[in-house]
Amino acid sequence: MEYTHLGRTGLSVSRLCLGTMNFGPHTAEKESFEIMDHAQEVGLNFIDTADVYGWKLGEGITEQIVGRWIAASGKRDDIVLATKVYGKMGKGINDRGLSAYHIIQACEASLKRLKTDHIDLYQMHHIDRTTPWDEIWQAMELLVQQGKVLYVGSSNFAAIDIVKAQYEAKNRHFLGLVSEQSLYNLQTRTVELELIPACLEYGIGLIPWSPLAGGLLGGILGPGDKVRRQEESRTAMIEKHRNQIERYEAFCSDLGKAPAKVALAWLLSQPAVTAPIIGPRTMNQFKDALQALEIKLTPEQLLTLDEIWPGPGGHAPEAYAW
pLDDT in tens, 51-77: 999 999 999 999 999 999 999 999 999
- DSSP 3-state of 66: helix
Cβ-contact 194, 316 below 8 angstroms: yes
Does the residue 131 lie in any domain?
yes
Task: Give residue 232's pLDDT.
Answer: 65
Q: Which of 223, 273, 283 is nearest to 249 (CA)?
A: 223
Does the residue 264 lie in any domain?
yes
Res. 46: pLDDT tops 70: yes
Task: Give residue 234's pLDDT.
Answer: 79
Does the residue 253 lie in any domain?
no
Paired with 23 in beta bridges are: 27
Over the chain, what is the mean pLDDT? 95
Res. 94: pLDDT tops 70: yes
Cβ-contact 66, 36 below 8 angstroms: yes
C-alpha distances in Å from residue 297, one per residue of 86, 183, 252, 282: 37, 22, 11, 26
State the amino acid at position 71 in one-letter form: A
Res. 196: pLDDT tops 60: yes
Between helix 259-268 and helix 283-290 the angle, nearest 10°, is: 50
Task: Give residue 223's pLDDT.
Answer: 76
Res. 226: pLDDT tops 70: no
Q: Which of 205, 116, 201, 109 is nearest to 152 (CA)?
A: 205
What is the domain-level CATH number for residue 85? 3.20.20.100
Cβ-contact 190, 312 below 8 angstroms: yes
CA dihedral 268, 270, 276, 281 (to 10 degrees): -70
> Catalytic site residue 202?
no
DSSP 265-299: HHHHTSTTB---EE--SSHHHHHHHHGGGG----H
Task: Give residue 228's pLDDT.
Answer: 56
Does the residue 191 lie in any domain?
yes
Backbone angles phi, psi at 23, to 5 degrees: -70, 120
Task: Give residue 235's pLDDT.
Answer: 85
Does the residue 148 lie in any domain?
yes
Dmax over CA atoms of the chain, in Å, equals 57
Does the residue 246 lie in any domain?
no
E strand spans, 90-228? 119-124, 149-155, 177-183, 205-209
Give the confidence band of 236 by pLDDT, cuts at 50, 70, 90: confident
Per-residue model confidence as pLDDT tens digits over 18-43: 999 999 999 999 999 999 999 999 99
* Count of structural domains, the chain: 1
Per annotation, catalytic residue among 53, 122, 184, 248: 53
> What CA–CA distance (Å, rounded) separates 188 from 310?
9
Residue ranges making up the domain that contains 281: 3-214+259-300
- DSSP 3-state of 172: coil
> What CA–CA distance (Å, rounded) separates 54 from 60?
6
Task: Give residue 120's pLDDT.
Answer: 98
Q: Which of 126, 127, 91, 85 is nearest to 109 (CA)?
A: 85
Please compute the mean of the pLDDT values over residues 300-317 and round it to a whole number.
Answer: 96
Res. 227: pLDDT tops 90: no
Task: Give residue 271's pLDDT.
Answer: 87
Does the residue 249 lie in any domain?
no
> What CA–CA distance (Å, rounded) separates 273 from 256?
25
Does the residue 219 lie in any domain?
no
Per-residue model confidence as pLDDT tens digits over 155-174: 999 999 999 999 999 999 99
Backbone angles phi, psi at 49, to 5 degrees: -145, -165
